[in-house]
Amino acid sequence: MNRMVSFFILLGILLAIAILFIKVMAGFLLPLFMAVLLVVMFRPLHTWFQRKLPGHRRIAAAATTTAILVIFLVPLLFVFLEGASEAVAVYGRIDSHDFDRAALQKRLDTINDRFNLTLTIDQIEAEVFDRLKQWTAPTLVLTTQYAISLVIGLCIMVVALYYFLLDGRSMIRTIMRLSPLDNSYESELIEEFDRTSRAVVLASVVSALAQGILAGIGYYVAGLDVVFLLTMLTMLLAMVPFVGAAAVWVPCCLWLLWSGHTTAAVLLGIYGLLVVSMIDNIIKPYILHGRSNLHPLLALLSVLGGVKVLGPIGIFVGPMAVTFLYAILVMVHKELDRLDEKTPAAAAKKLSPKGG
C-alpha cells in the first residue's frame, strides 16, 4: 500500500514537472520540430557525409548542417526578403496613390456604360485603396515583429539540427528506454513519423516549389509587377488543399483583365489552369505513391486547423497529427483485441467445440 501511495505521489510530481517543462519549452517547440523534419528529410545526405568522414561524427554533423543551410535556408531567406521588399514597395504605391488614373477612368467609363453605373475614381480610392492601406499597415508592423522571432527561431533550429544529427540515435534510444510504451509500438511510431513526414513534407514542398516557379514564369511573361511576392504567395498557398496556386493566379488574371490586358489575362488563365495547377496532380501522386492514405477532406481540415492553431508550420503539423492519431488508434485497437483474447469468456469460446 505504501509503495502504491509513493508511486502515485511520484506520478503527480512527474506530471507537474512535465507541465512546467512544456510551458518552458513551448516557445521553442516549433524550431525543434522543424529541426527534426530537416533531419528526417536530409538523413541520406548525412549518411553520405558519415561514409566520407568515418570516425568524425562532429565534422559530419557540422557538414550536413552547413549543407542544409546552403541548400534550403539561404535560398528561402532570399525569396522571403525579396518578397518583403516588394510588399513594402506595393504599400508605398498604395500610400502615394501611384497608379494610372487615366487608364483606370477609361475602364470605369466602360463599366459604367455597360452596367449603367456611376462609379468614380474617388469611390474606388475610398473603398479599395484605403482599405488596402488599412490592411497592409498593421501587416507590416506584425511582419517586423515576426521577423525578430523568426531570426531567434532559426538560430535555435540550426543549433538543434546539429545536435539532432550528432546525437539523434542516442536520444531516441534514451527515450525508448525511459518510455513505458511497448518497444514495438515505439518503433512503429518512429517509422510512422519517418514515413509520414517524408510523404507530407516532401510532396507538399516539391509541388509548391514547382507551382511557384511555373507561376512566376507566367507572371513575368504576363508583365505583372512584384513577381517575387506573387511567386512566394503562390508557393505558400499551393500547400493548402483545394485552395492551391489558383488563389493567386486567378486574382492576377482578374487584375490584368481590369487593367485592359485581356490577351495576357486569358493566356495566364489558360496557363495557370493547364500547367500551374495541374502539375500538383502529377508530382504529389508520384512522390506519395501510396505512402499517405489521408482522405482529401481530412487533409483540408487538418491543414486549415493546423494553420489556425500553429501558424504556417501547421501546413505540415496538421496532416501529421491526424495521421499519428490514426496510428495510435490502431495501436489501441490492437491492445483491446489482445486484452479481449485474454478474458475467460474469449478463452472458453476458443476451446468450445465448433457449433457447440
Rounded mean pLDDT of the chain?
77
Q: Nearest-5° angle of CA 68, CA 323, CA 16?
A: 85
More confident site: 100 or 105: 105
Greatest Cα pair distance, the chain, in angstroms, is 93
What CA–CA distance (Å, rounded) separates 56 from 12?
43
Q: Which residue has the cell 511520484?
A: 10
Query: Do residues 86 and 229 touch, judged by C-beta distance below 8 A?
Result: yes
pLDDT in tens, 118-132: 766 666 666 666 665
Residue 116 has pLDDT above 90, yes or no: no
- pLDDT grade, residue 4 (50/70/90)? confident
Terminal-residue alpha carbon distance, the chain? 45
Chain position carrying cell 508583365: 223
Q: Is the pLDDT of residue 63 over 90?
A: yes
Please give the pLDDT value at position 66.
Answer: 92
Beta-carbon count within 10 A of 158 CB: 17
Judged against a pLDDT cut of 60, whether residue 318 lies above it is answered with: yes
In this structure, the number of other CB atoms found within 10 A of the CB of residue 301 comes to: 15
Distance CA 249, CA 272 (A): 7
Q: With beta carbons less than 8 A apart as the criterion, state whether 174 and 70 touch.
A: no
Instruction: Give me the pLDDT at residue 355, please.
Output: 47
Q: What is the 3-state secondary structure (H, E, C) of 291-351?
A: CCCCCHHHHHHHHHHHHHHHHHHHHHHHHHHHHHHHHHHHHHHHHHHHHHHHCHHHHHHHH
> Residue with C-alpha cell 508520384?
286
Q: Using 50, 70 and 90 to split pLDDT, how confident is the model at 227?
A: confident
pLDDT at 186: 77
Q: How far is CA 128 from CA 123, 175, 241, in A?
A: 8, 55, 29
Worst-scoring range by mean pLDDT, 13-17, 195-199, 203-207, 232-236?
Answer: 195-199
pLDDT at 356 over 50: no
Other CB atoms within 10 A of residue 99 CB: 14
Domain layout of the chain by residue ranges: 28-171, 181-336
Residue 71 in this model has a pLDDT that exceeds 60: yes
Alpha helices in the chain (DSSP H): 2-25, 29-41, 43-52, 57-68, 74-96, 101-115, 121-124, 130-178, 183-197, 203-222, 227-237, 246-258, 262-271, 280-288, 296-310, 314-342, 344-351
pTM for the whole structure: 0.64
Mean pLDDT of 292-314: 71
Measured between alpha carbons, how far is 168 from 190 in angstroms, rounded to an integer? 12
* Residue 65 confidence (pLDDT): 92
At 199, the pLDDT band (50, 70, 90 cuts) reads: confident
pLDDT at 159: 92
More confident residue, 150 or 333: 333
Estimate to the nearest angstrom the gap between the alpha carbon of 251 and the chain centroid.
23
221 phi/psi in degrees, rounded to 5: -65, -35
Percent of the chain with pLDDT over 70: 72
CB 112 within 8 A of CB 118: yes
Higher pLDDT, 233 or 181: 233
